[in-house]
Chain A
Amino acid sequence: MQLKLGKWEISIERKPKVSGLLAGILGPAAALVLAFIVASFIIALSGANPLLAYKYMLSGAFGSLRSFTETLVKATPLLLSGLGLTVAYRTGLISIGAEGQMIMGGLFATLAGIYMGWIPGPALILVVMLAGMVGGGLWGAIPGYLKARLGVSEVINTIMLNYIAIFLVSYLLDVPLREPPGYFPQTAQIARHAWLPYVLPGTRLHLGVLIAFASAFVVYFLLWRSPLGYQMRAVGYNREAARHSGMNVGKNMVLALSLSGAFAGLAGMVEIAGLHHRLLNGFSSEYGFDAMAVALLGKLHPGGVTIASIFFGALRVGANMMQRSVQVPASLVFVIQGLVILFVLMDELLRNYVIRIFAKPVLEEKSYGLK
């Protein structure tokens, strides 16, 4: 298909055999562009100018040091829970449970931060981190165990556990954990020395950002450089073949979902110890759900997931600016995320139809560059 626009020629043609890194970048990039194009129609529906809306979104997310650090703050839990989902998805398990695991991680971290304040200095931070990972890990182990022992699909169980975690925390904040005198459904603050220190003075950028980036390396080494990761990926690639070559498939699945939960729990921990310093209803801000889009857009690779998490963090910060400036509802973010997931799934189609824009005179020379 060819479109002519002045001296530019846009050609959409079938290009089989784009593979490797290029394909890994082209697919998601095309998905993003398409998502934004479709979303611009939806913005126009509300009577606003899509280009103006996107301009405010961009400047809201990256326009100043403050806004950029906010983007990173929001990217942190997205990256951690997205990494967790990457571990699960690579093992062939579709987990939708990052949200609940994040909430349980936050709960455990808060409990440790309040009741273990006698632990001195930075050691407490490590304990709180561990508690968060245990909380999320346990919540991930339940569907893992049910899958491995009883063959129950992890998909529905992880969703159900999300709702159970939400109501559990809502109950705990209602009575047993509520901070006296109890005007608000929130716990007392965690011990001061359990707070994650800020890394840039004057901003809310806390140590969690570095924890998240470090975790990306951990997940990379875990999946591609460790025997355990090799087994998990083998199970994900072909469960039966892995079984026949003597791997304990069930154990790997439980392990993968627990690890996945542990990273989501860590995401909950950084939100508590880095930002809120106490447990509140809805502290997870549904990062756990966004994490699915992050993992998929990042093509289940820690590097890609890192970039995708910053992108989605930017989307959130930018959307607030957009809502304030041009009254386009910030929930547009979810529209874009849903579209991104769908278009990423279509990227095999998209990848085969590379959209190329050339100035006419150079068409001849450049066209074999991509062949």
Chain B
Amino acid sequence: MDLNNLAGFLAATFRMATPILLASLGGVFTARVGIINFALEGIMLVGAFMGVYGSYVTGNPWIGALMGSLGGLAVALILGYMSITVKADQVVAGTGINILSIGLTSYLLNVVFGIGAKPSAVAAFQEWAVPGLSNLPFVGPVLFRQIPLVYVALLLVPLTWYIIYKTPFGLSMRAIGEHPRAADSLGINVYRVRYLAVIISGILGGLGGAFLSIGQLSVFMEKLTSGRGYVAWSTVTVGKWNPLGIMGASFLFGAADALQLRLQTLGFKIPYQFFLMLPYILTILVLAGVVGRTVPPASMGKPYGKEGR
């Protein structure tokens, strides 16, 4: 692989990693307050649909991205209600939300574009070359000729790190994740902080979904996310609930995705399906290798009620 090829591969890695990075940064907020965000798949899917819809109606991908975030937010609110207020099993609730999202998006796709019709391509994000920097050799094409949302995602990594470790809100989140009752007795509103964390995860997950539909492609198809929400959630675990680790893990999966695309186009003898499997196999292997040695926030998956239900 020569330098040009390598640069192309790395650039693709950034592009493929971004939706997972955005969604898993959202996931870290929910994880930190002890909520299993299985709904990320549905959040991303609705985000992807709303992204295309917003761009289709207005012709502006930015408005699409905004709509995508709002769609993700709406789905996240269902998760919040189910896991915080109803105190339901979070994995099952997330799965229900995902099935609902599959149904809703494919239903609305049929309603908007007609049953069985091919959805038309909408305005998608274009690459934006950072003036000056994009002309640097090697680094330029890899880092500085990307879709604007890639930069947004990369900037969100330190921001999320700062929020979690350096702000009172982050402290509240971590306290709730470890011991909701203790946090409550310190005067932290457990319900409110949990809802806020879920809302943030919805906005980021929706944005990640919109990136799939109007960043990487310019259409929406049924089940477009094909498990990337689940991959994003496992990325949160693999990255040990730390935004920096999560960025690393997202790039690992992005690289697997990019490799899969490259090898397909390079005409390798290995069947393309094996490369498509790569991110999923990688998830299993990495989880088996890493998770044994990590400890999730203690209240993970446990609803909190004042009466100690």
Interfacial residues, chain A to chain B (CB-CB below 8 A) = 42, 45-46, 94, 96, 146, 150-153, 155-157, 159-164, 167-168, 170-171, 174-175, 289, 292-293, 296, 323, 327, 329, 331-342, 345-346, 349
Contact = CB atoms under 8 A, between A and B. Distances in A.
Contacts, number: 137
A342 B234 CA distance: 23
Interface of A is mostly: helix
Given A163-B226, A329-B106, A334-B102, 10 more contacts: A42-B104, A94-B89, A152-B291, A157-B284, A167-B273, A167-B277, A331-B103, A337-B103, A345-B89, A346-B82
B274 A171 contact: yes
Contacts of B271: 171, 174-175
B288 interface: yes
Contact of B233 (A156, A157, A168): A156
- Ranked 10 nearest A-B pairs via Cβ: A338-B100, A334-B103, A341-B96, A335-B103, A329-B110, A171-B273, A345-B88, A338-B99, A331-B106, A167-B273
A156 B283 contact: yes
B101 interface: yes
A161 B277 CA distance: 9
Given A331-B106, A332-B107, A168 B284 contact: no
A152 B285 CA distance: 10
A175 B270 CA distance: 12
Contacts of A327: 115
Contacts of A341: 92-93, 95-96, 99-100
B287 interface: yes
A263 B230 CA distance: 25
B103 A155 contact: no
Contacts of A168: 273, 277
A296 B284 contact: no
Given A160-B281, A167-B276, A337 B230 contact: no
B103 A338 contact: yes
Interface string B64-87: 000000000000001000100010
Contact of A152 (B100, B107, B273, B288): B288
Given A156-B234, A164-B277, A345-B89, A150 B95 contact: no
Contacts of A342: 78, 82, 93, 96-97, 100
B88 A160 contact: no
A345 B115 contact: no
5 contacts: A153-B291, A164-B280, A331-B106, A334-B102, A337-B99
A349 B288 contact: no
Interface in B131-157: none
B111 interface: yes
Contact of A150 (B100, B280, B291): B291
A146 B227 contact: no
Contacts of A46: 107, 111
A322 to B, nearest CB: 11
A332 B100 CA distance: 9
A151 B82 contact: no
Nearest to B38: A155
A333 B103 contact: yes
A156 B91 CA distance: 10
A174 B287 CA distance: 30
B234 A42 contact: no
Given A160-B280, A327-B115, A96 B95 contact: yes
Contacts of B93: 341-342, 345
Nearest to A157: B284
A150 B230 CA distance: 20
Contacts of B233: 156
A339 to B, nearest CB: 6
B168 interface: no
Contact of B107 (A153, A167, A329, A345): A329
A345 B95 CA distance: 11
Contact of A345 (B92, B100, B273): B92
Interface in B206-236: 222, 226-227, 230, 233-234
B46 to A, nearest CB: 12
B55 interface: no
Contacts of A163: 226-227, 277, 280
A296 B92 contact: yes
Given A156-B234, A338-B96, A329 B111 contact: yes
Contacts of A157: 284, 287
